[in-house]
Amino acid sequence: MSAAPEHAPTMAQATLADRIGPYMPVLLVPLLALAGFLAIMNPASWLTLTVSGLAMGMMIFIMASGLTLVFGLMDVINFGHGAFVSVGAFVGITVLMALGQMTAAPSLLLNLGAVLLAVIGAILATGAMGWAFEKVIVAPVYGHHLKQILVTMGGLIVVEQLIIVLWGPEEIYFNRPEALKGAVTFAGAAIEKYRLVAVAVGLAVFAAMRWVLRRTKIGLIVRAGVENGEMVEALGYRLKLVFVGVFIAGSALAGLGGVMWALYQEVITAHMGNHAMILIFIVVIIGGLGSVEGCFIGALLVGLLQNYIAFIEPKAALISNIALMVTILMWRPMGMIPVVKAK
């Protein structure tokens, strides 16, 4: 019998590609911005488009972040998520219109106070609606994807019709509060004030979500539950309660996103949430199911790309996001930062 070969492990340095690999999704945003700059070659236009793209991305992120958690933690495909966007927008804008004196006053504080009240109204309404939606529509179909698609789409249609019954079938136009109208000029570029507000709110929501998920026990439970819900329950945590909490939070975030989106468009329709769902799904899929960070990066990519392409080649803007999704999924089939394994 021959002697066993001597154990001589070797250490090899990882290649540059291996070392950069995990950070590539984060690098994509500045790389896309750089590519946009090279393609546009006009600093002022590029800055305007970049801020516009970031603002759009932030609003999509706010609307999509709840859906990715619901997808990841609960394995629920909620096609009804757009209903919360629409309801949030209608409730928020109704509150805002009722506070006409505050929004028309030339006071930043009063204007922001009105927006804050509108946001609170939207969050409360969509949070409560999320609780009812989970109990009545989603709970009976846990674990059945086809049924989930059917009943949540049905739920979306019912909610849209209820909006039409309550607010009428016409589009509702409105004006932003005085302080959020107009633009500021920076380095020769005109930047809408509201877009700066949207970027700030988006960053605040992202920071708050990261803090909750990374620094609190409930965040630990949610992150662990996305990965292995059965084991979380075996540790003694009532994951079904967490499910309901996440669904309510996700719905409330969609409501907040609805108000933000409405203020961006200055018009609301019963179908606005449904229309936003295409972008929301693209962001959730390319980000990686269950990943808030992936969702954030995906939303920024979608927002920036759509704005750059619309400026460079308007006819290609319609397909730019689908092309982005195809490209990213060819590179990373599970999305940029996947959290959930294929189920």
Partner 1 sequence: MSDAILTLDNVYTNIAQYHILQGVDLVVPRGAVTMLLGRNGVGKTTTLRSIIGHWRAHQGCILFDGEDITKLPTPAIARLGLGFVPEDMGIFADLTVEENMQLAAVSGPINSARLDWIFTAFPPLKTFWKSDAGTLSGGQKQMLSIARAMVEERKLYLIDEPTKGLAPAIISTMAKALKDLKQQGSSVLLVEQNFAVAKALGDSANVMDDGRMIWSGEMAELGRDAALQERLMGLSMEAH
What residues line the site for partner 1 (CB under 8 A)?
A: 217, 220-221, 223-224, 227-228, 230-239, 339
Our CB check for partner 1 shows the closer of 66 and 72 to be 72
Our CB check for partner 1 shows the closer of 220 and 312 to be 220
Going 224 to 229 to 230 to 233, the CA torsion angle's sign is: positive
The span from the CA of 155 to the CA of 86, in Å, is: 13
DSSP-derived letter for residue 182 is S
Our CB check for partner 1 shows the closer of 17 and 234 to be 234
Q: Which amino acid is at 2?
A: S
For the chain, percent helix, then strand, then coil, each to nearest 5?
Answer: 75, 5, 20
Nearest distance from C-beta of residue 300 to partner 1, angstroms: 22
Nearest distance from C-beta of residue 15 to partner 1, angstroms: 18
**For residues 179 and 111, is the Cβ–Cβ distance under 8 A?**
yes
**For residues 179 and 192, is the Cβ–Cβ distance under 8 A?**
no
Nearest distance from C-beta of residue 250 to partner 1, angstroms: 20
- Relative to beta strand 267-268, strand 172-173 is antiparallel
Our CB check for partner 1 shows the closer of 103 and 291 to be 291
CA atoms within 13 A on the CB side of 12: 6
Nearest distance from C-beta of residue 72 to partner 1, angstroms: 11
Nearest distance from C-beta of residue 233 to partner 1, angstroms: 4
Please give the sequence-ordered ranges of beta strands (E in DSSP) within the chain, or none if there are none. Answer: 172-173, 183-186, 189-192, 267-268
Our CB check for partner 1 shows the closer of 192 and 293 to be 293
Query: Tokens 């018009």 identify what position?
Result: 267
Our CB check for partner 1 shows the closer of 252 and 339 to be 339
Provide the 10 A C-beta neighbour count for residue 94: 19
Nearest distance from C-beta of residue 131 to partner 1, angstroms: 21
Our CB check for partner 1 shows the closer of 6 and 230 to be 230
Contacts 24+ apart (CB under 8 A), 234-237: none
DSSP-derived letter for residue 337 is S
Nearest distance from C-beta of residue 210 to partner 1, angstroms: 14
